[in-house]
Amino acid sequence: MGVHLLLEDGSLRLDDPVALHWPAFGAGGKGGVTVRHVLAHQAGLANAMPPAATLDELCDWDAMTAFVANATARHANPNPSPNASPDASPYPSPKEP
């Protein structure tokens, strides 16, 4: 609900790169991931959960935000280029203003 309030008041736009608001999030090929991608569960972050994490670890804000920021986006690509890296992001890097 908080995201929707920010969208409503214009503080956030669906097509903003998440890294515009959280710069550390841009690491690991996530620079082009938008708020829309995250809300639609299309940011490629299925791997953004520490393996065998305890409840205490999951509730540690600093550790979890660092883990997600450093996670590498991974995406299914039904038509991969034969020369593409398996870790290549389908999201273009945001252009500098």
Given this model, what pLDDT does residue 78 score?
Answer: 46
Indicate the pLDDT class of residue 86, thresholds 50, 70 and 90: low
Statement: residue 87 has pLDDT above 60: no
Statement: residue 6 has pLDDT above 80: yes
Indicate the pLDDT class of residue 84, thresholds 50, 70 and 90: low
What is the distance between the alpha carbons of residues 31 and 2, in angstroms, rounded to a whole number? 22
- Which tens digit of pLDDT belongs to each residue from 33-68? 999 999 998 998 887 788 888 999 999 999 999 999
Q: What is the DSSP string of 14-74?
A: TTSBHHHHSGGGGTTTTTT-BHHHHHTT-SS-TT-S-TT--HHHHT-HHHHHHHHHHPPP-
